[in-house]
């Protein structure tokens, strides 16, 4: 069938078969469909929507478009975790070592930051010497030795998804639940996952601003799992404020170390225990989430989770001395504190705005080729619902460029709402979909 016939079929509202979707993805991967026809098909998919069968077929076709990671040589169920992106989301650096310490192997491909959401690979590469760009053979060696490896996504993983996303970004077709779900799930399946635990963010610092759209995305991805033979659990969590207290590459590494040492709790630890419990159950290491939470707590208390982080860093040639002395991480040359302009209750914050401040400080990228300042970031001194006093420090800014720090300082007041009356704070966990 000619490309234009497929475009017309979808434009007119008919469902595409798995073979027709495969033809479309092959055309994208092989370059036989020009960009204008790919863009036309994306717009037809965006406007007409996709059935679960179509979305699953697109997911599997994109997953197979490159060279998937083959984890069949590793024993047991391979469990992966994915976050839809947030601010101060240090989850992987805490969660992966804890889960590995409980006997579930974690082989995770992660990405770099783009836009206001941070990237796990940027955080790990802020550790002196850390090598995230490793090949499949080395990843499997590390998984067998340590039960844990976190690697950069390879260039040949889901190349069709990369091309489709680039075109979606410039054709107004990003905000499509089926296309978002297929993009996420194709990468997880191509990375070798048998079971997937999703952290779907919802709120001012998330792509999904409201619970209805977050729930729709979560349900779509869970249904894709059912259609493709994967066990998928989606936890919908609040991103009305940064998850952790620190936003930045070296800052988040240091915070993860503090959590694994048992010196910091709060939302960051809570979400790690919730997601980790789901991963242990999916991986067959615990019969239920209650038992799994107990095991994760033990890994935290006895230091075995921290030991796994140390082994991860050593295995990928990083300076593991940062675990005992975080000051070995690169340090900023400039700092400035922003204080509360008035007294009252902190009732809201523009979390995405804080992420954009992080980018402006030099910590994030607007394009993939941008270099970053790994020391740039924000240390948050207050949480939603807190009663604060005028002049009390609320945010500490840091980085290597004083002018950027000063500009960021001047932008902060517009991002916080301080009122005389307290308002309810939405719970961290908004829903769990299995």
| 331-419 fold | Aldehyde Oxidoreductase; domain 3 (3.90.1170)
Quick one: 3-49 is in which CATH superfamily?
Transferase, Pyrimidine Nucleoside Phosphorylase; Chain C (1.20.970.10)
CB-based contact 142:315 (threshold 8 Å):
yes
**In this structure, are strands 148-152 and 106-110 parallel, antiparallel, or unpaired?**
parallel
Where does residue 67 rank: exposed (0-12), middle (13-18), buried (19+ CB within 10 A)? Answer: middle
Amino acid 260: pLDDT = 98
Active-site annotation holds for 187: yes
Per-residue pLDDT at 103 exceeds 90: yes
Active-site annotation holds for 356: no
Per-residue pLDDT at 174 exceeds 90: no
First to last CA, the chain: 38
Q: Using CA atoms, how far apart are residues 427 and 207, in angstroms rounded to an integer? A: 18
Domain 79-323 annotated CATH 3.40.50.1110: no
* Residue with the two structure tokens 């005992």: 324
Query: What is the pTM for the complete model shown?
Result: 0.93
Per-residue pLDDT at 203 exceeds 80: yes
Tokens of 348: 């809201």
pLDDT tens readout for residues 114-173: 677 778 999 999 999 999 999 999 999 999 999 999 999 887 899 999 999 889 988 999
Residue of 81, 108, 112, 187 with catalytic role: 187
Measured at the alpha carbon of residue 197, what is the angle toward residues 194 and 203, in degrees to the nearest 5? 150
Tokens of 78: 């391979």
Q: Using CA atoms, how far apart are residues 278 and 272, in angstroms rounded to an integer? A: 10
Q: Of 273, 404, 429, 415, nearest to 352 (Cα)?
A: 415
Q: Using CA atoms, how far apart are residues 311 and 318, in angstroms rounded to an integer? A: 10
Question: Given phi > 0 = left and psi -120 to 50 = alpha, else beta, which region is 72?
Answer: alpha
Residue of 9, 10, 78, 82 with catalytic role: 82
Amino acid 117: pLDDT = 75
Q: Using CA atoms, how far apart are residues 68 and 149, in angstroms rounded to an integer? A: 16
Tokens of 99: 């889960």
Per-residue pLDDT at 327 exceeds 90: yes
Q: Using CA atoms, how far apart are residues 386 and 46, in angstroms rounded to an integer? A: 42
Tokens of 98: 């804890």
Mean pLDDT of 52-76: 94
Q: Of 186, 222, 220, 241, nearest to 351 (Cα)?
A: 241
CB-based contact 91:201 (threshold 8 Å):
no
Mean pLDDT of 192-201: 94
Amino acid 297: pLDDT = 97
Residue of 29, 39, 56, 183 with catalytic role: 183
Q: Of 253, 255, 250, 389, nearest to 333 (Cα)?
A: 250
CATH 3.40.1030.10 intervals, the chain:
79-323
Active-site annotation holds for 123: no
Q: Using CA atoms, how far apart are residues 25 and 59, in angstroms rounded to an integer? A: 10
**In this structure, are strands 387-388 and 334-339 parallel, antiparallel, or unpaired?**
unpaired
Q: Using CA atoms, how far apart are residues 65 and 28, in angstroms rounded to an integer? A: 9
pLDDT tens readout for residues 342-398: 999 999 999 999 999 999 999 988 777 788 999 999 999 999 999 999 999 999 999
CATH 3.90.1170.30 intervals, the chain:
331-419
- As a whole number of angstroms, the longest Cα–Cα distance in the chain is 68
* Residue with the two structure tokens 């940064």: 242
Mean pLDDT of 406-419: 97
CB-based contact 94:269 (threshold 8 Å):
yes
Q: Which tops the pLDDT comparison, 243 or 1?
A: 243
The secondary structure element, H or E, covering residue 38 is helix 35-48
Work out the pLDDT band at 207, boundaries 50, 70, 90: confident
Amino acid 114: pLDDT = 66
CATH 1.20.970.10 intervals, the chain:
3-49
CB atoms closer than 10 angstroms to residue 74: 16
Q: Of 293, 108, 266, 86, nearest to 197 (Cα)?
A: 108
Q: Using CA atoms, how far apart are residues 106 and 103, in angstroms rounded to an integer? A: 9
CB atoms closer than 10 angstroms to residue 407: 14
CB-based contact 405:427 (threshold 8 Å):
no
Active-site annotation holds for 183: yes
* Cβ neighbours of residue 293 closer than 8 Å, sequence gap 6 or more: 273, 277
Long-range contacts of 387-393 (CB under 8 A, 24+ apart): 387/344, 387/345, 387/422, 388/340, 388/343, 388/344, 388/345, 388/346, 388/418, 389/340, 389/343, 390/339, 390/340, 390/341, 390/342, 390/343, 391/339, 391/340, 392/339, 392/340, 393/337, 393/338, 393/339, 393/340
Active-site annotation holds for 161: yes
CB-based contact 148:97 (threshold 8 Å):
yes
Residue of 80, 89, 122, 161 with catalytic role: 161
Beta bridge partners of 238: 202
Question: Given phi > 0 = left and psi -120 to 50 = alpha, else beta, which region is 213?
Answer: alpha
pLDDT tens readout for residues 264-295: 999 999 999 999 999 999 999 999 999 999 99
Q: What is the mean pLDDT of the chain?
A: 95
Amino acid 307: pLDDT = 98
CB-based contact 92:119 (threshold 8 Å):
no
pLDDT tens readout for residues 12-23: 999 999 999 999
Residue of 10, 168, 215, 356 with catalytic role: 168
Strands (E), 204-332: 231-238, 246-248
Tokens of 268: 């960051």
Amino acid 155: pLDDT = 79
* Residue with the two structure tokens 């959401």: 117
């Amino acid at each position: 069938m000619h490309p234009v016939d497929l475009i017309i079929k979808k434009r007119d509202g008919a469902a595409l078969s798995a073979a027709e979707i495969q033809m479309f993805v092959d055309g994208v991967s092989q370059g036989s469909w020009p960009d204008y026809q790919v863009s036309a098909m994306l717009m037809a998919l965006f406007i007409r929507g996709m059935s679960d069968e179509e979305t699953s077929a697109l997911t599997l076709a994109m997953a197979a478009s490159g060279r998937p990671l083959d984890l069949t040589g590793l024993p047991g169920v391979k469990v992966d975790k994915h976050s839809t992106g947030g601010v101060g989301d240090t989850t992987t650096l805490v969660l992966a070592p804890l889960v590995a310490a409980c006997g579930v192997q974690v082989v995770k491909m992660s990405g770099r930051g783009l836009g206001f959401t941070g990237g796990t690979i940027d955080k790990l590469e802020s550790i002196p010497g850390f090598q995230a760009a490793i090949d499949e053979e080395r990843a499997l060696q590390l998984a067998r030795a340590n039960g844990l490896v976190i690697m950069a996504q390879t260039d040949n993983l889901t190349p069709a998804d990369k091309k489709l996303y680039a075109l979606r970004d410039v054709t107004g077709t990003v905000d499509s639940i089926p296309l978002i779900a297929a993009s996420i799930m194709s990468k997880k399946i191509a990375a070798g996952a048998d079971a997937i635990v999703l952290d779907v963010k919802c709120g001012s610092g998330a792509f999904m601003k409201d619970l209805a759209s977050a729930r729709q995305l979560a349900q779509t991805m869970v249904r894709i799992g059912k259609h493709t033979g994967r066990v998928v659990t989606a936890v919908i969590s609040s991103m009305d404020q940064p998850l952790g207290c620190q936003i930045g590459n070296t800052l988040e590494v240091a915070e993860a170390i503090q959590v694994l040492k048992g010196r910091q709790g709060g939302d960051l630890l809570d979400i790690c225990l919730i997601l980790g419990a789901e991963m242990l159950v999916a991986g067959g290491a615990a019969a239920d989430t209650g038992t799994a939470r107990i095991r994760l707590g033990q890994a935290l208390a006895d230091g075995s989770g921290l030991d796994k982080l140390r082994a991860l860093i050593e295995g990928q040639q990083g300076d593991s001395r940062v675990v005992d002395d975080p000051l070995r991480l690169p340090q900023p040359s400039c700092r400035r504190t922003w204080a509360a302009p008035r007294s009252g209750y902190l009732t809201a914050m523009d979390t995405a705005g804080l992420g954009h401040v992080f980018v402006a400080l030099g910590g994030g990228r607007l394009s993939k080729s941008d270099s970053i300042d790994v020391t740039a970031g924000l240390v948050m001194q207050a949480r939603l619902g807190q009663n604060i006093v005028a002049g009390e420090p609320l945010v500490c800014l840091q980085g290597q460029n004083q002018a950027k720090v000063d500009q960021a300082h001047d932008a902060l007041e517009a991002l916080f709402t301080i009122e005389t009356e307290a308002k309810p704070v939405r719970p961290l966990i908004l829903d769990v979909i299995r």
